[in-house]
Amino acid sequence: MALASREDILKARERTFKDVYCPELEGEVRIQSLMANELEEYQASNRGKPDKEGNVEIVWKGSAARLVARCAVDADGNRLFSDTEALSLGKLNAALINRLFAAACKLNGIGEKEMEEMVKNSEPGQGAGE
């Protein structure tokens, strides 16, 4: 197998997509991969404010809804939800959001351990900022 060149790496700008069947909707939702800077923004949204000692706690509450809001797109690749609409996604059927969240994690290389931690520490039906 040949090593990738600098040019090969810089060509890797295409997103990937996965259509996820959701029985709750009796249809599919398209999930997109994020670009590296978008994933970093999402990861930063999971960080709380530093305490007096400068320690930063990870805030998992609403993390599933926030990722779904960033990854759910229409047939043309346009986002279906803005970041601020993640609040409303957090109030939807937990099975639906968890199904889309799992697909978004897998597509974006978010590991199972991190994914389990987010789901375990998120309260069902709550969005970011509640």
* Predicted confidence (pLDDT) per residue in 1-58, tens digit: 899 999 888 888 889 999 999 999 999 999 999 999 999 888 888 776 666 776 666 5
- What is the pTM for the complete model shown? 0.75
Query: What CATH number is given to the structural domain containing 113?
Result: 3.30.2220.20
Residue 3 domain-assigned? no
Q: Which domain holds residue 31?
A: 16-121
Express the helix, strand and coil content of the chain in percent, nearest 5 each: 40, 15, 45
Lowest mean pLDDT across 20-29, 58-67, 110-119? 110-119
Q: What is the mean pLDDT of the chain?
A: 83
Total structural domains in the chain? 1
Question: In one letter, which amino acid is 122?
Answer: S
Kindly state whether residue 27 falls inside one of the protein's structural domains. yes
End-to-end CA separation in angstroms for the chain: 50
Assess if residue 20 is contained within a domain.
yes
- The answer to whether residue 11 sits within a structural domain is no
